[in-house]
Amino acid sequence: MSSFFNRSSKSQPAEPELPPAKRISTPAGQRLSVILENGDNPATKPRDSYRASLRKSALAGLGEVPRESLEDYSHGSQTSYGHSISVWSEVSGDKLGAFKNKKQIAKRGGWKRLGLIIAVVLTIVIAIIIGVVFGLKKKGSSNNNTQTSQAKQTVAAVASNSALLEPGETPTMTTSLSPSATPSNFPLGSYSMITFLDTVLTNCTANPSTWTCYPYTIYNTDANKAMATFNWIITSISSGSYEISSTANPFSIPFTNVPLDLLDSGLDTERYRFQVTQTKNVSPSSAITSGNSAAECFYNGTTFQAYLYTKMAKSYPDASLGEQSGNPSYPVWPFAVRVEQIIGGGQDVPNCYELDNGVIGKRVTDGLDPQDQGSLCSCLYKNWRTPGTY
């Protein structure tokens, strides 16, 4: 070394000698000396290593980095990045383990089971929602149908009442369409038609006392005293065809095996009708002879007709109004009933005679001039109330 410097000093100025390199005894110093001996720049390499270390630390905070990338950065030196590798192993080990566990679950069918459970839960929830929605719709629909039915019944009530009204009467809403219990084999059987005397007309005769109607008291005068009960028997003559007969009654209106006609089939006003022509016997309510003797009048050709409804309900008698039951002999006809006797005026309407010990005597003509044929005498019975009578 000294001879080399001596030769150089002859041609060039002498340079100050550098002190010998200092040896570092620490492990870091040993690594640094190895780097220097390999010809690396000590000023730049440590800075690059420091930056690489910072990048690794930043990546460690942001998320997982594959282990293989860390091994590439080590360049085969386990000791140079041992600390960093240890940190990354702790951070990523648990996550990778969980991930592997999830894979194991998937392999064993866990995901399918989880999916099946979710599907079942969703199906139940959807079914409940659909059930609630349809339930509400059904309830709303049920409420709408109920209101519509009530409205229809109201309209039908007006129509039905109108069918029973006399000319000039106003429909009433007091009659309900709610039917009573229908007997078995209806309409076959024996029935008591409990009615009240509603209206009496005496226009067919010049002497009103010659036309009377049992029980001689109208409903507006006394509801109980106006009660009149008809006992009738309905029999079958063929499939869907019926006939009716009377029993003994105080009205002196006998009839046997009279056909029943069905009107307004299927409607709220459905009813059976029958009609007979007969002679009505009347004992005048007051004397019509000069000697005040008893008399008997005959209305030949009187029409007797009745309508037996099969849907429209009756409203009489009403126990809540103090009306009596009438002590019926048979099951009560469960629906509305209208019964009527009617005759027009004319010649020999009526024919009246004196009675001598119950035997027909001399004809009475005084005060019995014939009336116009359009002038009617009638007895009207019902089991539903007319307006203004309740």
Residue 168, pLDDT score: 35
263: helix, strand or coil:
strand
Kindly list the distances between the CA atom of residue 253 and the CA atoms of 214, 250, 352, in Å, as whole numbers in the listed order: 11, 8, 19
Q: Is residue 2 part of a domain?
A: no
Q: What angle do CA 275, 280, 282 make, to 5 degrees?
A: 150
Same domain, 154 and 245: no
Same domain, 145 and 116: yes
Residue 107, pLDDT score: 52
Same domain, 32 and 138: no
Give just the sign of the alpha carbon dihedral 64, 68, 73, 76: positive
- The answer, yes or no, to whether residue 221 has pLDDT greater than 60, is yes
Alpha carbon distance 22, 24 (integer Å): 7
Mean pLDDT of the chain: 73
Same domain, 83 and 98: yes
Same domain, 82 and 151: no
Overall number of domains in the chain: 3
Q: Is residue 333 part of a domain?
A: yes
Kindly list the distances between the CA atom of residue 351 and the CA atoms of 26, 225, 368, 369, in Å, as whole numbers in the listed order: 158, 29, 9, 11
- What residue numbers bound the domain in which 114 lies? 109-164
Q: Which residue has the tokens 């307004």?
A: 264
Q: What is the mean pLDDT of residues 190-207?
A: 97
Q: Which range has the worst mean pLDDT, 107-121, 153-167, 226-240, 361-375?
A: 153-167
Same domain, 227 and 281: yes
Taking only the tens place, the pLDDT of each residue in 142-189 is 555 544 444 344 333 333 333 334 433 333 333 444 445 688 899 999
Taking only the tens place, the pLDDT of each residue in 272-284 is 999 999 999 999 9
Q: Is residue 172 part of a domain?
A: no
Q: Is residue 275 part of a domain?
A: yes
Same domain, 132 and 269: no
Same domain, 118 and 101: no
Q: What is the mean pLDDT of residues 328-353?
A: 96
Helix, strand, coil percent content, the chain, rounded in steps of 5? 35, 25, 40
Residue 387, pLDDT score: 55
Statement: the pTM of the whole predicted model exceeds 0.85: no
- The answer, yes or no, to whether residue 22 has pLDDT greater than 90, is no
Beta carbons of 195 and 218 less than 8 angstroms apart? no
